[in-house]
Amino acid sequence: MHRTFAFALPLLLLSGCSPKAASESGANNPVIDVGDGDVLVAYFSVTANTRKIASYAQEHLGSDIFEIVPEQAYTAEDIDYNSDCRANREQNDESARPRIKSSLADVSQYDTIVLGYPIWWGQAPKILYSFIESYDFSGKTILPFCTSGSSPIGSSAANLAKSAPQANWLEGRRFSASASKEEVGNWLDAYIKKETDMKLLIDDRGLNVSWEDNESVKALEKMLPLTISMHEYGGFEQTGPIGSSIPRSDVQMDVVPGDIVRYNDNAISVFYNESSWSYTKLGHIDLSQPEMDDLLNKPSVSFVLKGE
């Protein structure tokens, strides 16, 4: 399908739609904190463009994914939009609600739904309405995206939002079929801040850590599980080699007891007393100075990072 879509046609076909609602769907770009398992990527796709973007999103978020599969699959004839095809007829029928083959086991476990679909005549395919109307999305956040030949997301998400007005609809985004994984990841990062599952144990003691949201921490997460043999240095820290290189964005800083930093030549340091140097901060252990002293003021410790 190589035709470039003109704008006038979708607007004529769906003149009842209100483009105004698009901006009402939330242009303020809030960043939502989500933990693992709270996000679902749900999508509909016939020719696999939306599927590709959805899979990038799922990989980036480490989330669950659900494909909206029609009970009656769309054949090439069904989407031949230059003819009186099934897709065109559905888009022109206000009441069309194509049936979905399988349903989501439990929507209540998700707080955020990243919802993807192709643009059909300027709007979401009617099966998206079938999906939205099948569940209770009250209080959930929906982040829509679409793929298209050329049309923007326009009023498509705002019109869908009318079928689930109790959800918090964020401003949607259009991707071309050739969008990169990085483009999708950057878009998601602007909306969804994923909490890391990384756990720290020092000498087998599990610790409460606030991790930074930066490239160095993301690189560490990819190396889990990671064990570092640390030794005491200078009367203020334990330090040891990571074993391979992680990104750095060093700045001169005053560290306090509990701080975890990337230091020097790919080492990690954890502090039990104050110090000043050029570091990349990785996180902070939520313990007092005497507790940090008790934990680290010894010749060596084992520093273990684990996933969930």
Ligand X SMILES: Cc1cc2nc3c(=O)[nH]c(=O)nc-3n(C[C@H](O)[C@H](O)[C@H](O)COP(=O)(O)O)c2cc1C
Q: Which residues bind ligand X (CB under 6 A)?
A: 1, 5, 10, 45-51, 79, 81, 87-88, 118-122, 147-151, 177
Shortest reach from residue 91's CB to ligand X, in Å: 7
Cβ closest to ligand X, residue 75 vs residue 108: 75
Residue 276 tokens read as: 């000043």
Shortest reach from residue 114's CB to ligand X, in Å: 14
DSSP 3-state of 184: helix
Rg (CA), the chain: 25
Cβ closest to ligand X, residue 81 vs residue 233: 81
Residue 84 tokens read as: 């009186």
Please give the Cα distance from 147 to 45 (Å, whole number).
Answer: 9
Please give the Cα distance from 265 to 235 (Å, whole number).
Answer: 20
Cβ closest to ligand X, residue 77 vs residue 195: 77
Confirm if 298 and 232 have CB atoms less than 8 A apart.
yes
Shortest reach from residue 150's CB to ligand X, in Å: 4
Cβ closest to ligand X, residue 68 vs residue 268: 68
Cβ closest to ligand X, residue 128 vs residue 255: 128
Cβ closest to ligand X, residue 49 vs residue 196: 49
Q: Which residue has 């964005």 as its token pair?
A: 249
Please give the Cα distance from 122 to 81 (Å, whole number).
Answer: 13
Question: Could you give phi then psi for residue 17, rounded to 5 degrees?
Answer: -80, 145
Shortest reach from residue 63's CB to ligand X, in Å: 19
DSSP of 199-215: EEEETTEEE-EEE--SH
Pairing verdict, β 251-255 and 237-241: unpaired
The per-type count for the chain, helices as H runs and strands as E runs, is 9, 18
Residue 293 tokens read as: 């002293």
Cβ closest to ligand X, residue 145 vs residue 169: 145
Q: Which residue has 């990062």 as its token pair?
A: 189
Shortest reach from residue 25's CB to ligand X, in Å: 19
Peptide bond before residue 144 is cis, with ω within 30 degrees of 0: no
Shortest reach from residue 153's CB to ligand X, in Å: 10
Shortest reach from residue 152's CB to ligand X, in Å: 8
